[in-house]
Structure 1
Amino acid sequence: MLNIPTWNRVLIWGVVVLGLAFAMPNLFYDRVERRNDAVTAIEEAGGDPADLAGDLGGWPSYLPSSLVNLGLDLRGGAHLLAEVQVEEVYEARMDSLWPEVRNTLRDLRAEVGGIRRQDAPAGELHVLIGNSEGMATALAAVRELAQPVVSLTGVGASTLEVEARGDVIVIRLSEAERAATDNRTMIQSVEIVRRRVDEVGTREPTIQRQGQRRILIQVPGIGSAEELKRLIGTTARLTFHPVTGRATSADAEAPAREMIVPDRDNEGLFYRVESSPVLTGEMLTDAQPSFDQNGRPAVAFNLNTTGSRIFCDYTQNNIGAPFAVVLDGEVITAPEIISAICQGSGQITGSRNVAESTELAVLLRAGALPAGLTFLEERTIGPELGADSIAAGEIAAVVAGIAVLVYMGLSYGLFGLFANAALIINVGLIFGLLSLIGATLTLPGIAGIVLTIGMAVDANVLIFERIREELKTAKGPARAIELGYEKARSAIYDANITTFITAVILFTMGSGPVRGFAITLGLGIITSVFTALYVTRLILVIWFERRRPKKIEV
């Protein structure tokens, strides 16, 4: 008959208590947030516990402290839509390819004659050879530098297209390699932006690719769009250039294929370096703070296989020549090459202190942005607007909740009050789950909660109506209640499974606000079914065991 085992009752109430316990910190949001920030400051930044005692004492450590993260539209923050200039990567690839092409053709000087790089459109490399009769040999040698395209769509294709135009060799990336480069550039750009945003400790930033070349960046809690642009605009672009001389000013004339670069530490000191770098930061596999042989702060780095080979060949052939390490357009050190470096590792000196060498190592490990970003859209959402959105959402939830509570009470009497109690528990469980998984609550997410409040009583309505039908034929109220739950269960599952599938599709195919709505809707469905089939039934059973009514009215 109407009975729930003791272990089942303990499990149901345990889930309810646990869910409400995780939801409770959200009632004291500011206090818990300050306490969490203080704990983070102590663990990661080495903050003084004595200075943060007030914030630490704002919330007991033995209670759950997970919070629902507030999205951009609720917390305020910055919104950027950036376009990645992938053409810059093509140009950089051609610049880095030139030393290899030059060295390859130098070995064939007897057949191809002299070689000289010529001005070319962006993304192309033009090389003039002195003996056009050796063009076939030159083309074959340059084509040997090509590699297979590493992508699913470019299987069998080569990375380079090489052709002759008179006595000029024209080299460009193949279409398959351009497509693969675009994809790699976007993946790398999104990951580097994410790493840099994560460094400021913001909660739940939204960083995702949009279309072929765009990145959507939304960071709650940051001061302004300008601040966010400065944060992600630090390129940490590292290159190694041969030094050809010194200049008196940044406006001094430089020969073709050379550029003027200022010294970071010595104002008024400028270097003339070759425009094409010998190595780039992309060839670094690791960077760690260290000390040089004189005990000064430095950064130790390791190179990949390609970088190691290039670095070894260059240092062998240029012993005694100065070599500039350029970071973001400034020379940080320009040592002379004392001996060949073929171990695939080296040191970058010139750091003023340990903190600076540590910061440089972190930036180099995070990587440089492979291409520049053009910001197409920027928007700052003030915290006042977020507070207004929260207030509006709270009013909507309260109005919807009161309307549902009144309707259920008037329609089903005492049974309606049981459903109302389960509804309140249901909302608490939603916030408990959101806190537990660290989800982000957005304005559409609040709409999902409001919709869940209305949908939450659907299951109870099905059950109560079924109990009404069974009261007309069943032998007693206990049997009617039991049959009501048994026969309504399949209909409840069918209705909620279809809605849950919709929520999953919205989460998978959607982005941003749509996902926020899908998360709260999906969690609301789970909690609604649980409270209707288990919590409400347990409340009914406890009431029935105490009252033992001979007749019930639904």
Structure 2
Amino acid sequence: MRKNSGLIVTLVILALGLLVYFVNQPLFKNINLGLDLRGGLRVVLEAQEREGEPVTADTIQKAVGVLRDRVDNLGVKETSLYPQGNNRVVIEIAGEDDPEAAVDILKNVAQLEFRDEQGNVAVTGKNLKNAEDRMNPNSQQAEVTLELDQEGARLFGEATKANIGKPLFIVLDDRVISAPTVNTAITDGNAVIEGNFTAKEAQDLAVLLRSGALPVSFNVLEKRSIGPTLGADSLDKSVKAGIVGIIAILIFMIGYYRLPGIIADLSLVLYSLLVLGAMVYLGAVLTLPGIAGFALSIGMAVDANIIIYERIKEELRFGKTLQAAIDSGFKRAFWTIFDANITTLITAMVLMYFGTGPIKGFAVTLSLGIIASLLIALTFTKYMLILFSNLAKNPKLYGI
């Protein structure tokens, strides 16, 4: 038994060391960093009321849906969108080369209209089924093709028939972007927007039209930019502080609890890998408050080990054997650890549901940390303690 336990302990420590060595860099490279760590732009948009059309929470939710669709189509990475109050939307863009240009595109209302020379509106964007950008094979100019629904095709056919030989103005947000002359009636519901576009401009225009018009116009209320250097500096300082804190914890646990302290340190390493791995797998974004949540959950993970070890020490003082003390210590500590972690997890879930931005990042990291610490404390730690108890039975090695 002693020989087998020694072999298993050696293999576990070796496997954990190899895991840290090979997984360390991929984890840090693939984790998504938030605005405060990576740099980027935070913009608060305020909805503008129109006469007879008050801005409501429902209006803002619809606007967020349209904006999110635009983000997905534009391929703008690491973007966070959420409502703030009843008349504001917050856009946070991290890691984008030109975040201001992305915000300018996103906040456009994109109200499309076809107007005749008298300014009468013939067709609007509500009749649009699809919009695609392409290169004209003849002129090699970028353009946007439009496909209208059945009602739109009928209205467009009537408008082009009534304006043969005259220009039909294509207007986006009250700005004329093209004014082609109608040569013949177009009844198939297809149209083309030409306007000396670059390929990128045609693509952005197609995305705006395809995602639909915003239900309300927005003004920029606040704009805050965080440079990548400042973000990298914040991350560097956070990592250094975290390393110093973890090393201090590792030394304290070994110095005070001796052999169980070594097990706690191994558990802490596995815990860190598990939390960071879960964040990468789930695509969670790590922010400065998220790092604070991670640090807090490390404290809770260590606290769980301390509760278990103190219970084991009490059982040893009562004269129980080491194996009996471990079993009894875990049984006595279980509900204390479980209750403390569950109550904190409930709080984190509430913050995750109602919170936005940094608060949500804190709650996500804290929740993952709580779940990981429970799993490791009640499984890995117990298993390792049983293995070590087969190797060393001297109570002094367990802090007595």
Q: TM-score range by the shorter chain?
A: 0.7 to 0.9
- Checking the alignment, whether the CA contact within 8 Å between 2:114 and 2:171 is kept in structure 1 is yes
Structure 1 residues 461-500: aligned runs within 5 Å: 461-473=306-318, 475-500=320-345
Q: CA deviation at 1:367?
A: 3.2
- Out of 129, 152, 159, the residue aligned to residue 285 of structure 1 is 129
**Offset of residue 495 of structure 1:** 1.2
| Aligned-partner SS, 1:549 | coil
Moved more, 73-82 or 298-307: 298-307
2: CA distance, partners of 1:317 / 1:508: 55
Alignment of 1:416-455 (within 5 A): 416-455=261-300
Q: Could you tell me how far apart the structure 1 residues matched to 2:210 and 2:299 are?
A: 50
Q: Which residue of 2 aligns with 1:84?
A: 47
- State the match for 1:24 in structure 2: 24
Summarize the alignment of residues 54-73 of structure 1 with structure 2, pairs less than 5 Å apart. Answer: 67-73=30-36
Q: What's the CA shift for 1:544?
A: 2.7
Instruction: Provide the C-alpha distance between the structure 1 equivalents of 2:231 and 2:355, rounded to a whole number of angstroms.
Output: 23
> How far, CA to CA, are the matches of 1:217 and 1:399 in structure 2?
34
| In the alignment, structure 1 residue 209 sits paired with structure 2 residue 54 | no
**Which structure 2 segments of 5+ residues have no match?**
1-8
User: Residues 23 and 210 of structure 1: is their aligned pair in 2 closer, same or farther, counting only changes over 3 Å?
Assistant: farther
**TM-aligned CA distance change 1:183 to 1:335, over 3 Å:** farther
Q: 1:234 to 1:442 in 2, by over 3 A?
A: same
Cα distance in 1 for partners of 2:375, 2:362 equals 20
Pairing partner for 1:510 from 355, 365, 375: 355
Identity %: 38
Separation (CA, whole Å) in 2 of partners of 1:203 and 1:293: 31
User: In the superposition, relative to structure 1, how do residues 472 and 350 fare at CA in structure 2: closer, same or farther (>3 Å)?
Assistant: closer
The structure, 1 or 2, with the larger RCO (C-alpha pairs under 8 Å, 6+ apart) is 2
State the partner residue of 2:6: none
Deviation, structure 1 residue 490: 2.1
Q: Which residue of the partner structure matches residue 386 of structure 1?
A: 231
Show structure 1 runs of 5+ residues with no match: 1-8, 33-66, 88-122, 124-172, 245-273
- Return the alpha-carbon distance in structure 2 between the equivalents of residues 211 and 22 of structure 1: 45
Cα distance in 1 for partners of 2:136, 2:293 equals 58
Aligned AA for 1:431? L
SS at match of 2:377: helix
Structure 1 position 199, deviation (Å): 5.7
Q: Is the 8 A contact 2:93 2:99 kept in 1?
A: no
The separation in 1 between residues aligned to 2:154 and 2:49, in whole angstroms, is: 27
Distance 1:296-1:86 versus aligned 2 partners, 3 A rule? farther
Using a 3 Å threshold, how does the CA distance of structure 1 residues 403 and 16 change in structure 2: closer, same or farther?
closer
Structure-2 change in CA distance of 1:358 and 1:69 (3 Å): closer
Task: State how 1:119-138 maps to structure 2 within 5 Å.
Answer: 123=51
SS in 2 for 1:448: helix
User: Quick one: distance in 1 between partners of 2:19 and 2:274?
Assistant: 5
Q: Which has the higher helix share?
A: 2
Residue aligning to 1:253: none
Contact in 2 for aligned 1:423/1:456 (Cα 8 Å): yes
Deviation at 1:368, TM superposition (A): 4.1
Mapped partners of 1:16, 1:77: distance in 2:
36
After TM superposition, the score normalised by the length of structure 1 is: 0.61
Q: Distance in 1 between matches of 2:165 and 2:228?
A: 59
Q: What pairs with 1:267-286 in structure 2 (closer than 5 Å)?
A: 274=119, 276-286=120-130
Q: Evaluate the alpha carbon distance shift between residue 459 and residue 311 of structure 1 in structure 2; reply closer, same or farther with a 3 A threshold.
A: same
The separation in 2 between residues aligned to 1:203 and 1:340, in whole angstroms, is: 39
Residues 538 and 366 of structure 1: CA distance in aligned 2, closer, same or farther (over 3 Å): same
Native 8 Å contact 1:202 1:221 kept in 2: no
Aligned residues: 389
How has the CA–CA distance of structure 1 residues 409 and 466 changed in structure 2, closer, same or farther, with 3 Å as cutoff?
A: same
The one-letter code of the counterpart of 1:501 is: I
2:356 counterpart SS class: coil
Given the two structures, how large is their TM-score scaled by the length of structure 2? Answer: 0.82
The CA distance in 2 between the partners of 1:535 and 1:293, in whole Å, is: 65
